[in-house]
Chain A
Amino acid sequence: SAVISQKPSRDICQRGTSLTIQCQVDSQVTMMFWYRQQPGQSLTLIATANQGSEATYESGFVIDKFPISRPNLTFSTLTVSNMSPEDSSIYLCSVGDWPGNTIYFGEGSWLTVV
């Protein structure tokens, strides 16, 4: 199994600022993903963090707003740029253990933008 640590766990941010969320996995994984969960909503995939290349973004998410880094097989960061109250969400890091079958989630980063 994979253990995923996310930092920060919670933060209150000022409008217009940027915040970087870190995701650390205790083993090397091929695929890492970032999801957003807005208040009372389901989870939506933001992007796939690719090691050694640019992230692959889902429809509705752009690199300028959510830049992602993946410097190695155990670590990734997601930056939420120029934040507005609409960015108040839980941001979750996820990894798959292909060719295994399990998909793991971190504890999440709770962001409130004021």
Chain B
Amino acid sequence: ELKVEQNPLFLSMQEGKNYTIYCNYSTTSDRLYWYRQDPGKSLESLFVLLSNGAVKQEGRLMASLDTKARLSTLHITAAVHDLSATYFCAVDGTGTASKLTFGTGTRLQVTL
């Protein structure tokens, strides 16, 4: 059974600081997704990582995937308040862009 773990569960950080969210998963997969969820909203797709060593960046967020270590990271650079949200990683264990197993989520709070 595929298990996906994220840490930390909650992260409070000051504006301007850097931090990394970690996503570990238990079985072989080379498809990993990152989503953002704002309170009262659905999921917003951030990144799709499709191979070992994949790195994608959008603004202050950068995601990477190491399939051998079964680890993905979401790095936040110089955080701003607008990044406050819950971030989920999710693994596609089927390899066919279909059903996902989600991590526990990381609630990020960026303070002034």
Contact = CB atoms under 8 A, between A and B. Distances in A.
A24 B35 CA distance: 22
Contacts of A100: 97
A41 B9 CA distance: 11
A83 interface: no
Given A42-B88, A45-B100, A96-B96, A104 B45 contact: yes
Contacts of B78: none
Interface of B: 31, 33, 35, 41-43, 45, 48, 50, 88, 90, 92, 96-105
Interface of A: 31, 33, 41-45, 48, 90, 92, 94, 96-108
Nearest to A47: B99
A42 B103 contact: yes
A106 B103 CA distance: 19
A103 B42 contact: no
A13 B84 CA distance: 31
Interface class of chain A by DSSP: strand
Contact of B102 (A31, A44, A104): A44
A44 B3 CA distance: 12
A92 B43 contact: yes
A107 B105 CA distance: 18
Contacts of A104: 45
Nearest to A100: B97
Contacts of B90: 43, 103
Contacts of A31: 96, 98-99
B102 A106 contact: no
A59 to B, nearest CB: 8
A102 B42 CA distance: 16
